[in-house]
Amino acid sequence: MAETIPHAPSIVDKAIDGKAFAAGLVDRITGASARLRADHGVQPGLAVVIVGEDPASQIYVRNKGETTLRAGMRSDTHRLDAGTSQADLLALIAQLNADAGIHGILVQLPLPGHIDSTAVLDAIDPDKDVDGFHVVNAGRLAVGLPGMVPCTPLGSVMLLKDALGDLSGLNAVIVGRSNIVGKPMAQLLLAQNCTVTIAHSRSRDLPALCREADILVAAVGRPEMIRGDWIKPGAVVIDVGINRVPSADPVKAAEGKTRVVGDVAFKEAAAVASRITPVPGGVGPMTIACLLANTYVAACRANGVEPQPLDA
Ligand code: GUN
């Protein structure tokens, strides 16, 4: 019979349960929002705008709306057809900016090609920009001012602090330099006193860079690109990737069935890492939870109320 090491952590023990953590966070936000309503007569309100019929976006938007309602918040979803002009979209944003019952505005990306996404995102009132994508919020984050922080990096750092406690002095390597994940993640980890490297498609010897990481964040959008032998033993791995690939079962794949994988080869990586976020069920659920957290905080700030701490 094969011998087993009594206390060797299994892959299950190593997996960071983002779904459970997000559920706890949503519960705390729900409680805090109920209190804001009871004490100050303010119900946090989130408006989500979607243009066109992209099926993945439709699912994300439906989930956001349902979770917002479950948290006791107001949820308005504006579904515009794919041919909507940029001027009409900007007019809707101006209307939402002026609506005192709406504290958060999210324009689902990607937008159709005829619309300038940057112009649209920058038309959102920065204090209602619950995605944290506005250039003013990017600037606030860079200089350490309070603002709206992008949800995926915010949720990822919450999971890291829960797994590791103090992050001071740790080497963090982020693979991916997007404005939505890579760059804000770097700012947040710098604020936690990590030594931060942002790697990208032009970085030399990416595997060697990754092997230096105590914290490795994968945000490249390439299925299972990061292999087990790129990971330093004991590192904590945050996999932000959500990639749809053909089913592992060739019969199902032939029928067009798909599955979702991250940017990290999970099994290989889990054998080396101390903790790792699975896909699905890791970072993904934290993104919606942090969207609600940002909406709650925006509603407090708009009404001069100190937000309740949302930590576990
Ligand atoms: N599309 C995919 N993810 C996101 C997100 O976090 N925010 C917005 N606005 N669009 C997205």
* 82-138 pLDDT, tens digit each: 999 999 999 999 999 999 999 999 999 999 999 999 999 999 999 999 999 999 999
CA distance 176 to 178: 6
Task: List the domain boundaries for the chain.
Answer: 41-131, 151-285
Residue nearest ligand 1's atom 1 by CA: 109
* 162-181 pLDDT, tens digit each: 999 999 999 999 999 999 99
Beta bridge partners of 76: 47
pLDDT tier at 3 (50, 70, 90 boundaries)? low
Is residue 1 scored above 70 in pLDDT? no
pLDDT tier at 6 (50, 70, 90 boundaries)? low
- Check: CB of residue 309 under 8 Å from CB of residue 32: no
Q: Mean pLDDT over all residues of the chain? A: 96
CA distance 262 to 278: 8
pLDDT tier at 4 (50, 70, 90 boundaries)? low
User: Which of 57, 60, 111 should be mutated for ligand 1, with most atoms under 8 A from CB?
Assistant: 60
- pTM value? 0.95
Q: Look at residue 304 in the predicted model and tell me its pLDDT.
A: 98
Note whether 41-131 and 151-285 share their fold: yes
List CB contacts of 57: < 8 A, sequence separation 6 or more.
50, 108, 109, 110
131 labelled catalytic? yes
Q: Look at residue 12 in the predicted model and tell me its pLDDT.
A: 81
Pick the CATH number of 41-131 from 3.40.50.10860, 3.40.50.800, 2.60.120.260, 3.40.50.150: 3.40.50.10860
Pick the CATH number of 151-285 from 3.40.50.1820, 1.10.3720.10, 3.40.50.300, 3.40.50.720: 3.40.50.720
* 199-238 pLDDT, tens digit each: 999 999 999 999 999 999 999 999 999 999 999 999 999 9
95 labelled catalytic? no
How far the first Cα of the chain sits from its last, in Å, is 43
